[in-house]
Amino acid sequence: MSESPSTKDVIAFCADALFQAESRRRPIAPLTETFPGLSVPEAYRIQQCNVERRIRGGQKIVGHKIGLTSQAMQEQFGVREPDYGHLLDAMVRERDRPLDLGELIDPRIEIEPAFVLGRPLQGPGVKVEDVIAATDYVSLCFEVIDSRIVDWRVRLQDTVADNGSSARLVMNSRRVRPTELALDNLATELELDGSVLERGNTSAILGHPARGIVWLANQISEFGVALEAGQIVLPGTCTRSRRIYGSRRIAGRIAGLGEIEMKVTGAPAVVDAGNS
């Protein structure tokens, strides 16, 4: 059965609206308000449209991120299941380069472990031990998330369509073999301007950070896609995210993975968002 033109039109319209919102730094109304019947599969197709647009523009996929894997994040955004997005090379920032908020709309910061794969992971049937065996090393990272939806008024379909709210990625230089740490029991702290605002433990990431990658590898296998060697995979954070407008120094640490620090400059488009 052929697809109805109206569905194609909605997907194209939403993809273009999100792309323009990011380019112009002007957030739009939630897609789920404009199109209440929007489904999660349709939202992933919107995401894919914009990923393909970026690839045509010369960007490259360097990995994937999984979001909303901890109860803290699910409660913060009112959703009940994880989502995923693509990481592109244009998102990766050097750790000694200040983060320019002037490029963003309403950014938040997350701290999490980053898994870098040494060999492919192809679902279905991927298990935690497969992820550990396929991982070359784990590093500490900041993920900067940003919403092209006004005031972060997102449902699952909104953030899925918006590429999992991906924006920037900053990784530490320290590399640790995954077998050298109890990855499911690492104390985590997030600090803004000298004050520790979030504390957590990596056990909150689905019980073990590798479980998020299990979920992703098996999920994308339904589309014939695998996680490739050399790709970065972010399993999600174990704490809440924090808005970062007004901050000038961000630091974080995960036991066994060291510490990461980043300076912040500029002001985002939504300068009156405040801190949550």
Domains of the chain as residue ranges with CATH: 5-265 (3.90.850.10)
Ramachandran sector of residue 15 (left: φ over 0; alpha: ψ -120 to 50; beta: rest): alpha
Q: Give 40: exposed, middle or buried? Use CB within 10 Å, 0-12, 13-18, 19+.
A: middle
Ramachandran sector of residue 38 (left: φ over 0; alpha: ψ -120 to 50; beta: rest): beta
Q: Quote the pLDDT of residue 224.
A: 85
- 270: three-class secondary structure by DSSP: coil
Q: Quote the pLDDT of residue 67.
A: 83
Chunked into runs of 10 residues, the chain (276 residues) has average pLDDT values of 68 98 97 95 96 97 86 70 91 93 96 97 95 98 97 94 96 96 97 97 94 92 90 94 94 97 94 48
CA 245 to chain centre: 19
Q: Quote the pLDDT of residue 82.
A: 80
Q: Quote the pLDDT of residue 222.
A: 85
CA 152 to chain centre: 14
Strand partners, 258: 254
Q: How far, in Å, are 236, 253, 258, 269 from residue 239 at the CA level?
A: 9, 12, 17, 25
Note whether 79 and 48 are within 8 A (CB).
no
Note whether 23 and 16 are within 8 A (CB).
no
Q: How far, in Å, are 1, 73, 172, 226, 259 from residue 83 at the CA level?
A: 29, 11, 24, 16, 27
Residue 260 parent element (H or E): strand 258-265
Strand partners, 144: 109, 168
Q: Rounded to whole angstroms, how far apart are CA atoms 214 and 201?
A: 19
Q: Rounded to whole angstroms, how far apart are CA atoms 100 and 146?
A: 13
Q: Quote the pLDDT of residue 79.
A: 67
